[in-house]
């Protein structure tokens, strides 16, 4: 099917429109939040938190409440647990992450298996953007709005506490609170992305577009806009491939964003591998 046919279908089917809006919002918020996650050296933490929402989502299903609440609960508890283990033993931070999130994730798998709904598990893990309901779309849009508002209002504080936490602390910014608020926002973004990319691949949407932008600019605010842009383009193109070839939306979206990363990795004017080796060769040639 051509791209035109996709556009036609987009005008025709409401489910596809919902999928599109949800994907666009997920692309934006993952890109924006991802910038702070990677610059704070928390990529692995992002992976952990996103996986740790699984039991929360499962328990919410079981009790028939909105899975947003359960997800935030287990996500934040895991973040606190990781901090507790690494601060109170010789276990390093990355080890604590590896132990805690896999355990929590395993609990989630067992709960869902006991609920005997493996179809749900598949969709939670890998995303099924074409099945987005109206209520899901509104939840994603409101979480997105909240994230964008927070980042806009506290941009200054986020910048200084990310770049130089010591300075932030020395003039009285509450670094610990900023960290835990980011953890909460991270679980919310994971929930918002559940249906689009799924739990397993949320971390890719957090890291890959932000990392692509990181290779292309030396200014944080430009990086944030670019990351959001790459997030949106990846989401929309991924949705197209998912719809057209009947593939899991999470996988197609992530692959598109990985493609952009590869392009930046090789061709970035300042950081790209290609220019670097070209310049190095030129420098060597000028000496011989």
Q: Return residues touching another protein (CB under 8 A).
A: 39, 153-157, 159-160, 162-164, 166-167, 169-172, 214, 217-220, 222-223
The nearer residue to another protein, 62 or 222, going by C-beta atoms, is 222
Closest CB 214 distance from another protein, rounded Å = 7
User: Whose Cβ is closer to another protein: residue 120's or residue 157's?
Assistant: 157
- Residue 90 C-beta: closest distance to another protein, Å: 11
Select 117 or 217, whichever has its Cβ closest to another protein.
217
Nearest approach, Cβ of 153 to another protein (angstroms)? Answer: 6
Looking at beta carbons only, is 77 or 159 nearer to another protein? 159
Q: What is the largest CA-CA distance in the chain?
A: 74
Beta carbon of residue 159, minimum distance to another protein (angstroms, whole number): 8
Triad 18, 24, 28: Cα angle to 5°: 145
**160 vs 255, which CB is nearer to another protein?**
160
**Min dist. Cβ of residue 91 to another protein (A):** 15
**Is the CB of 153 or the CB of 273 nearer to another protein?**
153
Shortest approach of another protein to residue 286 CB, angstroms? 21
**Nearer to another protein (CB atom), residue 168 or residue 239:** 168
**CB atoms inside a 10 Å sphere around CB 115:** 14
Q: Residues 6 or more apart from 73 whose CB is under 8 A from it?
A: 56
Q: How far apart are CA 16 and CA 131, in angstroms?
A: 9
Q: How far is the CB of 158 from another protein (least distance, A)?
A: 11
């Amino acid at each position: 099917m051509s791209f035109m046919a996709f556009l036609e279908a987009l005008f025709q089917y409401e489910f596809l429109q919902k999928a599109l809006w949800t994907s666009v919002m997920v692309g934006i918020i993952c890109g924006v939040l991802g910038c702070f996650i990677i610059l704070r050296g928390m990529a692995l933490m992002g992976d952990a938190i996103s996986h740790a929402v699984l039991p929360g989502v499962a328990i919410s299903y079981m009790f028939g409440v909105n899975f947003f609440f359960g997800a935030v609960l287990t996500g934040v508890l895991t973040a606190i647990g990781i901090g507790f283990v690494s601060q109170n033993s010789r276990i390093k931070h990355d080890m604590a992450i590896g132990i805690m999130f896999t355990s929590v994730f395993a609990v989630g798998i067992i709960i869902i298996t006991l609920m005997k709904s493996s179809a749900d598990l598949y969709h939670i893990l890998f995303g099924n953007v074409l099945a987005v309901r109206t209520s899901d779309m509104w939840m994603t849009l409101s979480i997105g709005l909240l994230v964008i508002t927070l980042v806009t209002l506290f941009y200054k504080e986020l910048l200084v506490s990310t770049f130089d936490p010591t300075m932030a602390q020395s003039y009285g910014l509450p670094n610990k609170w900023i960290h835990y608020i980011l953890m909460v926002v991270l679980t919310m973004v994971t929930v918002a992305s559940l249906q689009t990319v799924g739990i397993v691949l949320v971390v890719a949407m957090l890291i890959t577009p932000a990392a692509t932008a990181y290779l292309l600019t030396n200014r944080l605010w430009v990086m944030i806009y670019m990351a959001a842009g790459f997030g949106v383009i990846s989401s929309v193109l991924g949705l197209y491939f998912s719809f057209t070839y009947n593939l899991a939306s999470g996988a197609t979206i992530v692959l598109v964003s990985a493609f952009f990363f590869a392009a930046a990795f090789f061709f970035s004017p300042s950081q790209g591998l290609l220019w670097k080796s070209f310049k190095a060769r030129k420098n060597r040639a000028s000496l011989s």
